[in-house]
A = this chain, B = another copy of it.
């Protein structure tokens, strides 16, 4: 069983509060002979539905000493997940869940703005204390 991110439950609760139904926890992801969870030691992906929308959510704590290193890791994982999902479940949109404090310190800075301008990631910004989704950046 792959590890849960530190804020896994907070994001799950925030999604439920926002009217989403969690359909898979974890959502398994394989491509060819590669099982992302086994080979990547990846955190669990959540899958959720609301009306006609289906999403997968990658949750990242950004708690290592280097936020840029965390960003690089989240980005590489996002691209891998995105490209596999677009083949195996093209109707499901992938989001990266980050805390509001991470959003401010990374994605309101030039490096994060650049990635958002280039549509490298979709973001779900959450408050871990209140367990509320603060913002979606599709």
Contact = CB atoms under 8 A, between A and B. Distances in A.
Interface residues of A, number: 31
Interface string A8-44: 0000000000000000000000011110100111000
A82 to B, nearest CB: 9
Interface SS majority for chain A = helix
Interface in A56-107: 66-69, 71-77, 79-80, 83-84, 87
**How many copies of this kind of chain does the complex include?**
2
B32 A120 contact: no
Interface of A: 31-34, 36, 39-41, 66-69, 71-77, 79-80, 83-84, 87, 109-111, 114-115, 118, 120
